Structure 1
Amino acid sequence: MGTSDAADASAARPGDEAGALVTYELRGAVAWIALNRPSKRNAINDRLLDALGAAIARAAGEARAVVLHGNGPCFSAGLDLAEHRARSAEEVFHHSRGWHATFAAVRRGRIPVVAALHGATVGGGLELAAACHLRVADSTAFFALPEGQRGIYVGGGASVHVARLLGASRMADMMLTGRVLDADAAERGGLANYVVPAGEAPAKAGELAERMAGMAPLTVLGVLHALPRIQDMSEEDGLFVESLVAALAQTGPEAAARLADFVEKRGAKVAGPGA
């Protein structure tokens, strides 16, 4: 089943859980990373953010996919407001940029990350989920951006990444009115890729991660790094980059063998949903 140990072995401080703030387990080619402050609803403080960055960096070196989930009652209730302190505008700016850097390591890393979501996926927790490549929500999951009701503004990338998933108008609704989305509404809006019964998100996320771990690396590179950038390009520039990535992937070492398997009827054909 692989190895299991803490990504952050430093001693706990007041307000932290005893032990690691983030746990790490390697199961075959998939790294399982868990936020581990259950009594704090996995609220994100600076030390948890650092531990998460270390775990993601480790996974990039020894796994081919990641499942990211939360221990305890929820995925994450967001920024740890209990540790919030008065900051100058400059300090807030650099604090926000630190969140951006850690979440960019998830989004722009070498391997795909699947979030398994349950319970509160709120504020910074939603921003972290939006940094992942796929999101599996169970029926208990709910999504909110309460910063607007607290007199602050999002700082972990929601203005770009949550807005791109939901649309700016839906995100504005959440921030201006405090609207909370359940799992089904999140799926309809494009925030969740899959909705499953309560307690089943980790199993579904693991299934998807195993499937992605078997993908050809050059195809994964194209999906993780070219596809998001193409969305920001003009049509002609996007098509040009698509052609470049197609040339790279289709001349890679795994492409010939996989295509030959399909042509010679050794590879599985595409089947309909539920088949």
Structure 2
Amino acid sequence: MADTGTLVTYELHGAVARIGLNRAAKRNAVSDAVIDALEAAAIRAGREARAGVIFGHGPHFCAGLDLSEHSEKPLFEAVLGSRRWHEAFDRIERGTIPFVSAISGAAVGGGLELAASTHLRVADSTAFFALPEGSRGIFVGGGGSVRIARLIGPARMADMMLTGRVLDAEDMERWGGVTHVVPEGQALDHAMRLAERIAENAQFTNYAIINALPRIADMSSEDGLFTESMVASLASMTEDAQQRLRDFLEKRAARVKAPGDD
């Protein structure tokens, strides 16, 4: 059961850190204090775990920015607040371990921005996604113009912001914003299973996947290919990789099978 006095809960389950937004009465809206607590939890997870899961206590993942707090900020404070979101979400996206988000109910505005900072997104059938900034006279400020636009494309993101369009989990999966869709109530369990599987990977390879891939996407093709060669060579030289390759060659590791094969 969640500690009602804690804005963000933290539990270590084996090699997986489970981080929970804990403002269920406000649909887990994100305040400055929540951002600070979330960043601290992500840093701790990077030290203690091999993978992480982010979820929302109660029926909703995150309804986004706490507008009651934001509406009272002077201009420069609002700019600095946006930059704090960027710093905290960068701890997740480009930290030391992969993160999976478990989404049920609302992933709206800043909630969708938070989900976009994770590496895999699991949504159950109750999940819905929206960017209502257009109707509220504001603009995304938690990295969505970069992360969400790269996931679903700027035209689709503009559609959501301009019209207030709300997507369900299946539509968002078709658009590329969700990686797994599961039945109601199963998002957290499925996210934990994925994180446990990820935690079994070589640490260097996980680090390279979450840090090299987005940077390569920002490069020219030639620069990206050169960087790929460097990262691939470094990965293959680690002791972990060499042992895993020996296990495969000596038939101690399972081969890849087609879906459905036992």
**Shared fold per TM-score greater than 0.5:** yes
Match of 2:68? 82
Structure 1 window deviating more from structure 2 (180-189 vs 82-91): it is 82-91
Q: Secondary structure at the match of 1:160?
A: helix
Using the TM superposition, give the Cα deviation of residue 85 of structure 1 relative to its aligned residue in structure 2, in angstroms: 2.9
Shift of residue 128, structure 1, vs aligned partner: 0.3
Could you tell me which residue of structure 2 aligns to residue 56 of structure 1? 42
Residue identity matched to 1:104: D
Post-superposition shift, 1:5?
9.3
Q: 3-state DSSP class of the match of 1:159? A: helix
Q: Give the Å deviation of 1:88.
A: 3.1
Could you tell me which of 216, 226, 237 is aligned with 1:240? Answer: 226
1:90 CA displacement: 1.9
Distance across 2 between alignment mates of 1:83 and 1:90: 14
Equivalent residue, structure 2, for 1:251: 237
Q: Deviations over 1:184-230 (max 9, x none)?
A: 00100000000000011111111110111111111112101111100
Give the superposition deviation at 1:100.
Answer: 0.5
Deviation, structure 1 residue 273: 2.0
Residue ranges of structure 2 left out of the alignment (5+ in a row): none
1:116-161 CA deviation, whole Å, 9 max, x = no partner? 0000000000000000010000010000001111011110011000
Structure 1 distance, partners of 2:259, 2:35, is: 38
Residue of 102, 124, 145 corresponding to 2:131:
145
CA distance in 2 between counterparts of 1:243 and 1:196 reads 36
SS in 2 for 1:254: helix
Deviation digits for residues 75-118 of structure 1, max 9, x if unmatched? 00011112233333322211111111111111111000000000
Candidates 75, 81, 86, aligned match of 1:95: 81
Does structure 2 conserve the Cα–Cα contact (< 8 Å) formed by 1:138 and 1:201? yes
TM-score by length of structure 1 reads: 0.92
- The unaligned stretches of length 5 or more in structure 1 are 7-17
Answering whether residue 31 of structure 2 is matched by residue 41 of structure 1, we say no
Q: For the residues of structure 2 that align with 1:128 and 1:64, how far apart are their CA atoms?
A: 20
2:27 pairs with 1:19: no
- Within 5 A, what are the aligned runs for 1:1-275? 18-275=4-261
SS class of match (2:53): strand
Instruction: State the alpha-carbon separation in 2 of the partners of residues 247 and 33 from structure 1.
Output: 34
Question: Which segment drifts farther, 88-97 or 106-115?
Answer: 88-97
CA displacement at 1:258 relative to structure 2: 0.7
Note the aligned Cα RMSD (angstroms): 1.3
For 1:88 and 1:32, the matched residues in 2 are separated by: 35
Contact 2:98-2:207 at 8 Å conserved across structures:
no
Amino acid at match of 1:171: M
**The structure with more helix, counted as a fraction of residues:** 2
* TM-score, length-scaled by structure 2: 0.97
8 Å contact from structure 2 (residues 2, 57) kept in 1: no
Looking at structure 1, the residues matched to 208 and 94 of structure 2 have their Cα atoms a distance apart, in angstroms, of 11
Give aligned pairs, total. 261
2:55 and 2:11 map into 1 onto residues whose CA distance is 12
Percent sequence identity over aligned pairs: 60
